[in-house]
Amino acid sequence: MFDNLSLLTQLAPVLNVQLLLDGLFVGAVFVLAAYGLALVWGVMNVKNLAQGEYVIMGGYFAWHLGTFGIHPVLSLPLVFGLMFVFGWVVYLLVIKWVISRDLFTSLLATFGIALIVQQALNLAYGPEVRTAEAGFGTNRLFGGLVTVADIKLISFGLCILLAASVIVFMKKSRMGQAIRATAQDPRAAKIMGIDTEQVYAFTYALNAAICGAAGVIVSMIWVIQPFYGIPHSIRAFVIVTAAGLGNIPGVIIAGLGLGVAEQYSGFVLGLEFQQATALILLLLVLIWRQIQLAQHRQVVQ
Amino acid sequence: MTYRKESVRTHSAILPRTFSGLVLAGAAAGMIAAGPAGAKVEGDTIILGSANSLTGKYSSNGIDTQNGYDLAIKKINEMGGVTVGGKQYKLAVTYYDDESTPARTAQLLERLIEQDGVQYILGPYSSPTTIAAAPVVEKYKVPMVEAEGASRALFNKGYKYTFAVLSTSEQYLASAIGLAAEVAEKNGKKPSDVRVAMIFENDAFSQDVRAGVVEDMAKYDMQVILDDKMPSDLSDISASLTKVKALKPDLLVISGHNKGAVTAARQIKELQVEVPMIAMTHCEGAKVIDQFGASADGYLCPTQWAETLSYSDEYFGSAAEYDKLFKETYDGYTTVPYQAAQASAAVLVWKDALERANSLDPQKVRDALAATDMQTFYGQIKFSEAGNNIAKPMVLRQIQNGEYNVVAPSKWASHELVWPREAMY
């Protein structure tokens, strides 16, 4: 561990750039899935455990379209559309019936969806890992010690574009306003003539679409496999919990931060701790929250 | 496939229903005692038995294994079969499907031995199922020749009835260490100067591979400069590869099944890792050449067997001739998996041992198996005390211009090692 630290501080400090960049690039993908979760959680109070499975599903769609000769970057809008439709269908089949039930019903239902998606992907594509190859080059910085794959830059740009357009959509469009109104007070929204049923369906479908888009990017920069969704789900939950619901800048910062933190802990503590990072951070955040709350209570007293 | 009904079942059909439970149990015990003598040889056919994975997660390799067994049985029978005590016997196999579940493998072996009276076992496919099978054959003192279980757990328990024709998992990448030492000496350096970086998945197989690497490194007194474990989902090892770039090792060894190999090949390409020698398991399974093209050039990939090797025997001829015969016999193979080749070799071992024992007594055959020392198209076969094959080395193939070429061990190599590797990123 200490020799790893000295590597970063003395021998090759330029590696910090590599870790930071890799962390930010992958963090941007985490942001997308987390943002979708925040949306569904905030608007419908459904904690969607199938988040990571939608990511992987999007990745498989991109891979499948790739076999028809469609470049993965170009398949992104197609996958977005496909996953939107899929999300809508899942809403009508399952989510609609559990939305007014208690927490555990929706947790169980979405967990069930996650299992079905995993197994369906396994049946359709087999258990081997897949990657969608974009075929772009790699840039070398600092004499090759730091490399930035073009695909990661492009993915990062796509993430920003996607996140920005969703935010603008939520602020400016009628549907976005309706979603926000429903999130604030579904009854009031209903009274004002908003078809909340449709808002819910739209929100859930939008979430699936965002996750699918994130999955396209995952298939281009990492690897996909039918059972690799769980770490993505966990990350999304950690980010949303840390940032707080409805806090979009918080989600972005937490997501990027988690990406960087994972790279650093993988480097310093060893790769096997990379995925533990998310959970350790979650613990720290929850402890911090408790302390804050305790202080707050004292002030009120 | 040859599924056989055993004579034991016809006995049970004629048992009167009025027998009390006690008498039934007694009769059953008598049948078991009587069964083996009549069932292991039917007329002029010696029956081998195998519980193999024909369905479930191992089924594709399980079927390769069965094809390998069947091809060798066919070949031996065509060449006159097995001569024991001056009499010619044909070989046949009773197969059961273990559904890729170790518990089922153990059950089915009990059934093969107890009910069907089979006294000669061919191994199942995969290490976990073979690990379940070994204690059963040990209990009944029935010898098993297995071709598909490489885990070290099979060879450190003092089993006396399990014999494996393949190289064990510790040997998978150990040959890369020997090769690195050779290269160092050729370049006027000491093997102890070789600096090695290791990235291994945290599971039984990869840790076995690691143990073999560490053991061989100790022989040359090489230095470990990185010893990382992969994260559980194996989707990102870039942090370790970044370290590798800074530490500049002479040799990088990686093992994490197909999934780890895909991740490693992709990220080595992205991060443009420049190490003169990279050895990795599961290159073929991960299809690194198809997916990552020229960036995978120079990888050293271990394999149990390759059709380009210059091994040969009297049954199949050379490795290349086996390859040809296998493709002619079974449709749908573009390359012959080594799993099939070693399965065929296991059957050859049975023939050889039965003839040398010159007896059908399982104990005598077991002793003959232990004394096996034969050359086959799959390589030399000679068992250690523990039952693993110590005569056949693991073969290292290097990816050269998109082809797998055997580069080590040098005695059987068809091509020169390209060093340092020239990857085109």
Q: Nearest CA of chain A to the CA of B197: how many Å?
A: 13
Say yes or no for a CB contact (<8 Å) between A275 and B232. yes
pLDDT digits (tens, 9 = 90+) for A152-173: 999 999 999 999 999 899 999 9
Q: How many domains does chain A have?
A: 1
Query: Does B424 reach chain A within 8 Å, measured CB to CB?
Result: no
Chain B: residue whose CA lies nearest to A230:
B233
| CA A13 remoteness from chain centre | 30
Q: Nearest CA of chain A to the CA of B96: how many Å?
A: 25
Query: Does A131 reach chain B within 8 Å, measured CB to CB?
Result: yes
B22 pLDDT above the threshold of 80: no
Residue B411: pLDDT band by 50, 70, 90 thresholds? confident
Query: Does B245 reach chain A within 8 Å, measured CB to CB?
Result: yes
B11 pLDDT above the threshold of 50: no
Query: Does A147 reach chain B within 8 Å, measured CB to CB?
Result: yes
Task: Name residue B68's beta-bridge partners.
Answer: none
Residue B34: pLDDT band by 50, 70, 90 thresholds? very low
- B194 in Cβ contact with B180 (< 8 Å): yes
pLDDT digits (tens, 9 = 90+) for A172-224: 999 999 999 999 999 999 999 999 999 999 999 999 999 999 999 999 988 89
Query: Does B152 reach chain A within 8 Å, measured CB to CB?
Result: no
Which backbone phi and psi does B71 adopt, to 5 degrees? -65, -40
A235 pLDDT above the threshold of 50: yes
Query: Does A267 reach chain B within 8 Å, measured CB to CB?
Result: yes
Q: Which CATH number fits domain B171-303+394-412: 3.30.420.40, 3.40.50.300, 3.40.50.2300, 1.10.238.10?
A: 3.40.50.2300
A245 pLDDT above the threshold of 80: no
Q: What ipTM describes this predicted complex?
A: 0.81
Query: Does A5 reach chain B within 8 Å, measured CB to CB?
Result: no
pLDDT digits (tens, 9 = 90+) for B202-224: 888 889 999 999 999 999 999 99
Q: Stretch B332-352: mean pLDDT, rounded?
A: 92
How far apart CA B137 and CA B384 sit, in angstroms, is 18
pLDDT digits (tens, 9 = 90+) for B58-113: 888 899 999 999 999 999 999 999 999 999 999 999 999 998 899 999 999 999 99
Range of the domain at A219: 2-300
pLDDT digits (tens, 9 = 90+) for A214-232: 999 999 988 898 888 999 9
B253 pLDDT above the threshold of 90: yes
Residue A137: pLDDT band by 50, 70, 90 thresholds? confident
Provide the total of helices (H) and of strands (E) in chain B, helices listed first. 13, 18
Query: Does A13 reach chain B within 8 Å, measured CB to CB?
Result: no
Q: Nearest CA of chain B to the CA of A296: how many Å?
A: 39
Least confident window among A147-161, A282-296, B263-277, B371-385: A282-296
- Exposed (0-12), middle (13-18) or buried (19+): which is B243, by Cβ within 10 Å? buried
Which backbone phi and psi does A210 adopt, to 5 degrees? -65, -45
What is chain B's alpha carbon radius of gyration, rounded to the nearest angstrom?
Answer: 23
How far apart CA B209 and CA B201 sit, in angstroms, is 10
Pairing of strands B41-42, A146-149: unpaired
- B151 in Cβ contact with B129 (< 8 Å): no
A128 pLDDT above the threshold of 80: no
- B49 in Cβ contact with B93 (< 8 Å): yes
- Residues of B with Cβ-Cβ distance to A127 under 8 angstroms: 57
Say yes or no for a CB contact (<8 Å) between B231 and A266. yes
Say yes or no for a CB contact (<8 Å) between A11 and B233. no
Say yes or no for a CB contact (<8 Å) between A19 and B229. no
- A129 in Cβ contact with A227 (< 8 Å): no
Q: Between residues 206 and 265 of chain A, which touch chain B (CB distance below 8 Å)?
A: 222-223, 225, 228, 230-231, 262-264
B12 pLDDT above the threshold of 60: no
B39 pLDDT above the threshold of 70: no
Facing B243 at nearest CB: one of A149, A267, A272: A267
Mutate: best of B199, B202, B233, B263, partner A, most A CBs <10 A: B233
How far apart CA B357 and CA B349 sit, in angstroms, is 12
Residue A299: pLDDT band by 50, 70, 90 thresholds? low
> Given this model, what pLDDT does residue B32 score?
44
Specify the pTM.
Answer: 0.78
Q: Tell me the C-alpha to C-alpha distance, in Å, between residue A114 and each of A43, A44, A76.
A: 20, 18, 22
Q: Nearest CA of chain B to the CA of A272: how many Å?
A: 4
Host H or E run for residue A149: strand A146-149
Whether CATH 2.60.40.1180 fits B7-167+309-382:
no
pLDDT digits (tens, 9 = 90+) for B219-231: 999 999 999 988 7
* CATH 3.40.50.2300 domain extents, chain B: 7-167+309-382, 171-303+394-412
Percent of chain B surpassing pLDDT 90: 63
Chain B: residue whose CA lies nearest to A123:
B57
> Given this model, what pLDDT does residue B6 score?
42
pLDDT digits (tens, 9 = 90+) for B366-398: 999 999 999 999 999 999 999 999 999 899 999
How far apart CA B417 and CA B406 sit, in angstroms, is 9
- Residues of B with Cβ-Cβ distance to A274 under 8 angstroms: 231, 236, 239
Six-digit token pair at B316?
Answer: 């199949």
Chain B: residue whose CA lies nearest to A122:
B57
Six-digit token pair at B272?
Answer: 């443009």
Least confident window among A257-261, B2-6, B135-139: B2-6
A101 pLDDT above the threshold of 60: yes
Say yes or no for a CB contact (<8 Å) between A26 and B202. no
- Residues of A with Cβ-Cβ distance to B233 under 8 angstroms: 225, 228, 230-231, 275
Facing A271 at nearest CB: one of B237, B245, B270: B237
The mean pLDDT value of chain A amounts to: 89
Query: Does B259 reach chain A within 8 Å, measured CB to CB?
Result: yes
Least confident window among A56-60, B157-161, B235-239, B316-320: B235-239
The mean pLDDT value of chain B amounts to: 87
Q: How many CA atoms lie within 13 A of B388 on its CB side?
A: 23
